[in-house]
Amino acid sequence: GIDPNFDSNREKVGEEELEELRSSASQTEFGEGVDVWGPVEPPEKLGIHGTHVAVDYDLCVADGACLENCPVDVFTWVETPDHPESERKVEPTREDQCIDCMLCVDICPVDAIDVDGS
Ligand code: SF4
Ligand code: F3S
């Protein structure tokens, strides 16, 4: 599953790598203002997206239960063509709205989500 200490074990990626990420995604844009924690090497390695609500893009298999069940609609789909696990991922676009219910953390079949360092 996702490393709950990602914010100390990984580096936040800069604007240049963010641009590279954005151009690797089609149709939908990555959330503005959502931090990404590297390493990032599109299209195979896409990093961890978000800080309070963090999604490991390299683990996510696009199950969708998080997005369908979040009571405050934190997540939006992003297309990720050619990623080995799945061709779309959930971006924690409205992570500032999270009410820490932990539903997404508990429901994800591959343990790809961490909320508030839990
Ligand atoms: Fe949504 Fe609850 Fe997950 Fe926060 S912890 S993103 S409110 S499902
Ligand atoms: Fe991905 Fe898990 Fe959600 S696989 S779509 S983070 S339930």
* Whole-number pLDDT of residue 33: 79
Please give the ipTM for the structure prediction. 0.99
The Cα–Cα gap between 57 and 50 comes to 10
The Cβ of residue 100 has, within 10 Å, a number of other Cβ atoms equal to 11
How buried is residue 8: exposed, middle or buried, by Cβ count under 10 Å (0-12/13-18/19+)? exposed
Cβ(103) – ligand 2 distance below 6 Å: no
41: DSSP letter = B
User: Nearest CA to 6 among 75, 42, 79, 57?
Assistant: 57
Residues in the chain: 118
Q: What CATH number was assigned to the domain covering residues 6-113? A: 3.30.70.20
Alpha carbon of 111 to ligand 1 centroid (Å): 14
User: Torsions phi, psi of 20, nearest 5?
Assistant: -60, -45
Domain boundaries, the chain: 6-113
Q: Measured from the CB, is residue 100 less than 6 Å from ligand 1? A: yes
* CB-based contact 70:104 (threshold 8 Å): yes
Which bound ligand lies closest to the C-alpha atom of 86?
2
Kindly report the protein residue whose alpha carbon is nearest to atom 2 of ligand 2.
108
Whether the CB of 85 sits within 6 Å of ligand 2: no
Atom of ligand 1 nearest to the CA of 73: 1
From first to last of the 118 residues of the chain, give the pLDDT tens digit.
Answer: 999 999 999 999 998 888 888 887 654 567 777 999 999 999 999 999 999 999 999 999 999 999 999 999 999 999 999 999 999 999 999 999 999 999 999 999 999 999 985 4
